[in-house]
Amino acid sequence: MSGQVDAALADTFRASLGQGLLVAGTAAIVTAVTASLLVSRRIAGPIHELAGASHRVAGGHYAERVKASGRDELGQLGSSFNAMAAALLEATERRRSELIGDVAHELRTPLATLRGYLEGLMDGVVAPSDQTWARLHDETGRLQRLIDDLQELSRAEAKQLSLQLWPVAEADLVQTAAERLSPAYAEKGVTLGTSIEPTLPAALADGDRAVQVLTNLLGNALRYTPAEGSVQVLATLADAHEIAVSVSDTGAGIPAEHLPRIFERFYRVDKSRSRALGGSGIGLTIARALVEAMGGRIWAESPGAGRGATFTFTLPVAA
Ligand code: ADP
């Protein structure tokens, strides 16, 4: 009898233990699933928001911000993201206002000259001579060049240049640019020499744009080299992947402290001299944008003031 009672008790105990384990197991699974859903939603939500905001910031919408709440890693990441977006917005605004200031400054000089001459003509103080018309013509030409250069620069900086990349023979490139400038060199009495390494492979470039860069460097070399000086163009294979074209002159040279800045927009070593010689101050900025758009590099070297300068740009070798 007592054996039967023991067996019944044991059965009841086993059944309730099984039930208890089932209930506890189900509760544990439900809790784990709920907790992981909650945690992943807490993590996935902000990450999704951050991904969307980064995409919009990359597209130039620097006013974009994310909700950065909490002191955990995600909250800190959100705050860092917002700080970065704020810094970008500030830098863009600063750059925009600097550009407007620079352009206004550059326009002021030729406009003041034009106005002075026109007022002088109206008052009868300036004679309506050939010299006066030539001066007025020069100043309007300067304004036109500045506007054209600014347009080119804004297109280049916005990466809106349409480039036609083809294999280009360096010899053709050098010859075209040299022919374009040789009358001006002859007129000033500056010698122009060219040297192209034999068996140089073709470069992958936009021929017209590459000629534009070289013409610009040759124009500068002529501008800053006095009569009886000389300019030498050299095209060589820099390494297996790059062709280097350099323009060396025996002219004004560039003091070391100015070298890192001469590719900046409107930066000039000698402002009045550059203006007097007809420079717009953005030729090198455009040259750099063009070279970089073609996958090359550009830099300047000079042993110092009065000791000449060398400008070199590279272009990738055509496969
Ligand atoms: P700019 O129209 O004034 O020549 P660039 O952008 O072409 O403007 O050149 C910027 C500045 O770099 C020039 O104002 C000049 O000071 C300096 N520079 C450029 N090329 C030469 C050179 N070959 N020799 C000496 N200085 C140069």
274, 285, 286, 301, best to mutate for ligand 1 pocket (most atoms within 8 Å of CB): 274
Question: How many Å lie between the centroid of ligand 1 and the Cα of residue 268?
Answer: 6
- Report which listed range, 52-61, 71-80, 174-183, is most confident: 174-183
- Running DSSP on this structure, what letter comes out for residue 317? B
Average pLDDT over residues 282-303: 93
User: How much distance in Å is there from the Cα of 209 to the middle of ligand 1?
Assistant: 19
* CA–CA distance, 287 with 153 (Å, rounded to integer): 9
Q: Which of 185, 217, 220 to mutate to test the pocket of ligand 1 (most atoms within 8 A of CB)?
A: 220
Given a contact cutoff of 8 angstroms between Cβ atoms, the answer to whether 159 and 292 are in contact is: no
Residue 153 CA to residue 34 CA, distance in Å, equals: 57
- Burial code (b: 16+ CB inside 10 Å, e: under 16) for 276-301 equals eeebbbbbbbbbbbbbebbbbebbbe
Tell me the residue type at 46: P
Q: Which two tokens stand for residue 244?
A: 């280097």
260 alpha carbon – ligand 1 mean position (Å): 12
Instruction: Give the DSSP H or E segment for 205.
Output: strand 203-205
Element (H, E) at 130: helix 130-157
Taking CA atoms, 85 is separated from 68, 71, 260, in Å, by 13, 20, 28
What is the position in ligand 1's atom list of the atom closest to the CA of 253?
A: 25
At residue 59, the pLDDT reads 79
Query: What local confidence, expressed as pLDDT, does residue 71 receive?
Result: 77
The span from the CA of 73 to the CA of 50, in Å, is: 13
pLDDT for 249? 97
What pLDDT, on a 0 to 100 scale, did the predictor assign at position 152?
Answer: 85
Predicted confidence at residue 278, as pLDDT, reads 67
- Confidence at 273, pLDDT banded by 50, 70, 90: low
For 193-241, the pLDDT digits (tens) are: 999 999 899 999 999 999 999 999 999 999 999 999 999 999 999 998 9
Give the whole-angstrom CA distance, residue 295 versus residue 315. Answer: 7
Taking CA atoms only, the protein residue closest to ligand 1 atom 3 is 281
pLDDT at 1: 55
Distance 158 CA to ligand 1 centre (A): 23
- Pocket (CB within 6 angstroms of ligand 1): 220-221, 224, 249, 251-254, 262, 268-270, 274, 279-285, 309
pLDDT at res. 148: 87
- 247 close to 311: Cβ distance less than 8 angstroms: yes
The share of the chain scoring above pLDDT 70, in percent, equals: 97
Question: How far is the centre of ligand 1, averaged over its atoms, from the C-alpha of 49 (Å)?
Answer: 47
Ligand 1 centroid to 120 CA: how many Å? 33
C-alpha to C-alpha distance for 247 and 192, rounded to whole angstroms: 10
Residue 22 Cα, ligand 1 centroid: separation in angstroms? 84
pLDDT for 185: 96
How many Å lie between the centroid of ligand 1 and the Cα of residue 104?
20
Tell me which of 218, 222, 246, 268 to substitute to probe ligand 1's pocket, judged by most ligand atoms within 8 Å of the beta carbon: 268
Q: Which residue has the higher pLDDT, 203 or 61?
A: 203
Tell me how far apart the alpha carbons of residues 211 and 193 are, in angstroms, rounded to a whole number: 16
The residue whose C-alpha atom lies closest to atom 12 belonging to ligand 1 is: 262
Cα gap 53→48, rounded to integer Å: 9
HEC assignment per residue over 63-78: CCCCCCCCCCHHHHHH
Distances, alpha carbon 69 to alpha carbons 65, 79, 84, 86, 120, in Å: 12, 8, 17, 17, 67
Sign of CA dihedral 246, 252, 256, 260: negative
Ligand 1: atom nearest CA of 270 is 16
Residue 291 CA, ligand 1 centroid: distance in Å? 17
Cβ neighbours for 189, distance < 8 A, ≥ 6 positions apart: 227, 228
**pLDDT band at 88, cuts 50/70/90?**
confident
* 3-state SS record for 238-276: EECCEEEEEEEECCCCCCHHHHHHCCCCCCCCCHHHHHH
pLDDT recorded at residue 101: 81
Whole-number CA gyration radius for the chain: 35
From the CA of 273, give the closest atom in ligand 1: 14
Cβ–Cβ under 8 Å, residues 110 and 142: yes
